[in-house]
């Protein structure tokens, strides 16, 4: 079952800090941040109704790690943060 709820301003600030440099532009002017807990390992954050960030919990051996990552939607809306990959001109 999916859980849905909105984050408080304090929680938004903590999430912004977790994302680091990428968090500033996303959260600075956010009017609302909605959380979708899809399962125990996957949470998607909708910032102003756009899925921009996800938190993934990954089990490695006997420990768990959490990763907060930007989604492709984030890079579409913030192209200046798109990683530069080498490419070949045709």
pLDDT in tens, 69-87: 888 888 888 777 776 655 5
Q: Which ranges of 8-70 would DSSP assign to H, the alpha helix?
A: 9-19, 23-27
Rounded to two decimals, what is the model's pTM?
0.78
Residue 69 is assigned to a structural domain of this protein: yes
Which residue, 33, 26, 37, 35, is CA-closest to 12? 33
Residue 62 is assigned to a structural domain of this protein: yes
Helix, strand, or coil here: 34? strand
Rounded mean pLDDT of the chain? 83
Residue 32 is assigned to a structural domain of this protein: yes
Q: What's the confidence (pLDDT) of residue 82?
A: 73
Q: Which ranges of 1-90 would DSSP assign to H, the alpha helix?
A: 9-19, 23-27, 72-77
Q: How many domains does the chain have?
A: 1
**Structural domain boundaries enclosing 41:** 3-79
Which CATH number covers residue 30? 3.10.450.120
Q: How far is the C-alpha of 80 from the C-alpha of 25, rounded, in Å?
A: 11
For 41-73, the pLDDT digits (tens) are 999 999 999 998 899 999 888 899 988 888 888
């Amino acid at each position: 079952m999916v859980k849905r709820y909105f984050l408080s301003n304090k929680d938004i600030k903590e999430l912004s800090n977790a994302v680091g440099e990428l968090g500033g532009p996303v959260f600075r002017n956010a009017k609302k941040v909605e959380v979708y807990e899809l399962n125990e390992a996957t949470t998607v954050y909708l910032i102003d109704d756009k899925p921009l960030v996800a938190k993934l919990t990954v089990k490695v051996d006997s420990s768990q790690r959490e990763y907060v990552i930007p989604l492709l939607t984030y890079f579409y809306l913030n192209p200046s943060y798109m990683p530069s990959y080498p490419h070949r001109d045709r």
